[in-house]
Structure 1
Amino acid sequence: MQLQFLGTGAGMPSKDRNTSALAVKLLEECGSIWLFDCGEATQHQILHTTIKPRKIDKIFITHLHGDHIFGLPGFLSSRSFLGGEELLTIYGPKGLQQWVEQTLKLSNTHVTYSIAFVEVEEGIVFEDSQFIVRAMPLEHVIECFGYRIEQKALPGELLIDKAIQLGVPKGPLLGKLKVGYDITLDDGSIVLSKEVTSELKEGFTVTILGDTKFCSNAITLAEKADIVIHEATFDHSTIELAAQYGHATNTEAAKVAQLANAKYLILNHISARFLKSDLIPFLKEAQEQFPNTFIANDQTQYEWRQHQLHEL
C-alpha cells in the first residue's frame, strides 16, 4: 500500500500546496486506487504522477467545501477521455450526488462509465473480502466525515515442507491450502489448511480525517491505527482560532495520535500562512507530543512495508 499526496493545502491553492486530495494506492492488494477528496486541479496534480485515472475506482469525499470537491467534475470528465470504462463509486455526505449530477448535466458533460453514489452515514460504508471502510462524523463547520480503512487479516505463509510430508503433491492443491481451503488427497486423507500454514498476518489500518477540530470521534477512528492522516491547519499558538473555524492544530493532531495509540501521524491540510521555514518548528512542536510525526507535501509518497512507514 502506498499513499501519494496530491494536494496538502488548506482553503485555497498556494504556490507550494494544492487543495486537498490523497491517492491511496492499492495496486498490489486489489489493482485499484482510491482517492480521498478531490480539490481544484487534482487532475493537474495527477499529470505529474504515474497514476492512471481509470485505475481510480472509488472516491471518498469528506465534506462539501470547495477545496475538497471542486476538482471532481474535471476529473470525472478526463477519466472518460482517458479510457475509463469501469464503474466508479463516489462516497460522500448528503448533497454530493445532486451537486455532481447537476454540474455534469448543466455543462453537458458525458462520461463513458457508470457512477454509483453512496451517501455516507456513520458506520461501515464499504466492505469486501479484503477491506472494511468505516466512517464517523467529525466536528467541522459543516457535515464532515473521517474514514478508517482496515485491511482484513492476510493468509499465513504456506509451510511447503510440512505439506509435502503429509503427502500433498506439488501443484494446485498447495495453492488451495495457502488461501485457506482444506483438501482431500487421492487416498481419502484430509489435509487442513491450518495444519500447513502459519498464523494469519495482521493487515494495515489507515485513518484519514477530514477537516475537524479536536474531537473524540477522531480518536475513535484512529484507535491503534498504523497511519493517521490528520489536518493541521493551525499551530499551537493559534489554538483558539482553530476551534472557531472548525479546524485543528499540529499539537491537537499529535494528541489524537497519542491518545489513540497510533503508530504514525502525517500532518495534512496546512495553511498557506506557514512558510517553508515555519514548518521546521511546526513539525518539532508536534513531534514533542508524538515523535512519529511527518508533514505531508504535495507529491510526497509513503509506502507501508513490513509494518513500517517509508517515505519514497
Structure 2
Amino acid sequence: MDILFLGTGAGIPAKLRNVTSIALKMLEERKSIWLFDCGEATQHQILHTSVKPRKIEKVFITHLHGDHIYGLPGMLGSRSFQGGDTELTVYGPKGIHDFIEVSLKVSETHLQYPLIIKEIDEGIIFEDDQFLVETGLLEHAIPSFGYRITEKDRAGTLDVEKLRKDGIPPGPTYAKIKNGEVVQLEDGRIIDGKDYVGPNQKGRVVTILGDTRSCENAVKLAKDVDLLIHEATFSAGNEEMAYDYFHSTTKQAAEIALKANVKTLCLTHISSRYGKEEWHQLLEEAKKVFPNSLIAQDFMEIPIKN
C-alpha cells in the first residue's frame, strides 16, 4: 500500500500545487487503485505518474466543493476511452449521483464499463475479506466526510526453510499448509500447517480527512492509525480565520494527530497564499506539536507501513 498525492492545494489550482486528489495504490494487495477526491485536472496529474485509470476501482469523494470533484467527469470518461472495462464505484455525499449523472448526460459521455454511485452516510460503507472502509462526518461548510481505511490482518508467511528441513517438498500441499490445515504427506506423516506458518501480520490503517475544522470525529477516525492525512489550509496563529472558513491550521492538524495517537501525520490542502519558501515553516509548526509530521507535495509518494 502506498499513498500518491496527485493534488495537494486548496481552493484553486496553483503552479506548484494542483487541487485535491489522493491515490491509494494497492497493486500488490488487490491489483487496483482507490482515488480519494478528484479535483480539476486530476487526469492531467495522472499523466505524470505510473497510475493507469483502468486500474482505478473505487473513488471516494469527501465533499462536493469544486476543488474536490470538478475533475471527476473527465476522469470517468477518459477511463472508458482508455480501455477501462471493469466496474467502478463512486462513493460520496448526497448529491454526487446527480453531479455525475447530469455531467455525463449533458456531455453525452457513454461509459464502456459499469458505474455504480453510492451516496454515503456515517458508518461502514464498504467491506470485503481484505478491507473495511468507515466514514465520519466532519465540520465544514457543507457535509464533508473523513474515511478510515483498515486492511484486515493478513495470514502469516509460510516458513519454506522449515518445510525443507523437515523434508516436505514444494507442491500443492504448500497451499493447504499455508491455510493452516492438517495435512497427510505421501510418506504417511501427518503435519499441522499451523506449525509452519508465522503469526498473522497486522493490517495497516490510514485515515484521509476531507476539509474540516478541528473536531472530535477527526480524532475518532484517526485513532491509532499508521498514517493520518489531514488538511492544513492555514498556518498556525490563524485559528480564528480557519474556524470562520471551516478549515484547520497546521497546529490544529498536529493536535488531532497527537490526541489520536497516530504514527505519522501528513499535511495537505495547503493554501496557495503560502509560497514554496514558506512550506518548511508550515511543517515546523506541526512538528512542534507532533514531531513525526510531513507536508505533502504533488507527486509525493508515501509507503504505508505498520
Per the shorter chain, which TM-score range? Answer: over 0.9
**Matched AA of 1:259:** K
**Matched AA of 1:139:** E
| In the alignment, structure 1 residue 39 sits paired with structure 2 residue 18 | no
Q: CA deviation at 1:158?
A: 1.7
Q: CA deviation at 1:279?
A: 1.4
Aligned to 2:120: 120
**Matched AA of 2:123:** G
| In the alignment, structure 1 residue 48 sits paired with structure 2 residue 48 | yes
| In the alignment, structure 1 residue 171 sits paired with structure 2 residue 171 | yes
Q: CA deviation at 1:159?
A: 2.5
Query: In structure 2, how many angstroms separate the alpha carbons of the residues matched to 1:176 and 1:251?
Result: 51
Q: Is the 8 A contact 1:94 1:120 kept in 2?
A: yes
Q: Is the 8 A contact 1:166 1:191 kept in 2?
A: no
Residues 239, 191 of structure 1: alpha-carbon distance in 2 compared, 3 angstrom cutoff: same
Q: TM-score, normalised by structure 1?
A: 0.94
Aligned to 1:310: none
Aligned to 1:225: 225
Aligned to 1:3: 3
Matches within 5 A, 1:64-103: 64-103=64-103
Aligned residues, how many?
306
Residues 190, 220 of structure 1: alpha-carbon distance in 2 compared, 3 angstrom cutoff: farther
Query: In structure 1, how many angstroms separate the alpha carbons of the residues matched to 2:65 and 2:215?
Result: 20
SS in 1 for 2:63: coil
Residues 97, 160 of structure 1: alpha-carbon distance in 2 compared, 3 angstrom cutoff: same
Q: TM-score, normalised by structure 2?
A: 0.95
Query: In structure 1, how many angstroms separate the alpha carbons of the residues matched to 2:9 and 2:293?
Result: 18
SS in 2 for 1:287: helix
**Matched AA of 2:262:** A
Q: Is the 8 A contact 2:178 2:194 kept in 1?
A: no
SS in 1 for 2:5: strand
Q: CA deviation at 1:164?
A: 5.5
Matches within 5 A, 1:52-63: 52-63=52-63
Q: CA deviation at 1:123?
A: 1.2
Deviation track 1:152-202 (CA, whole Å, cap 9, x = no partner) reads 111112223544576744212112222444434457765333222111011
Unaligned runs of 5+ in 2: none
Matches within 5 A, 1:128-139: 128-139=128-139
Deviation track 1:23-58 (CA, whole Å, cap 9, x = no partner) reads 110001110000000000100101111111000010
Q: Give the percent of matched residue pairs that are identical in Structure 1 and Structure 2.
A: 52
SS in 2 for 1:235: coil
Query: In structure 2, how many angstroms separate the alpha carbons of the residues matched to 1:142 and 1:94?
Result: 11
Deviation track 1:265-287 (CA, whole Å, cap 9, x = no partner) reads 00000001111111121111110
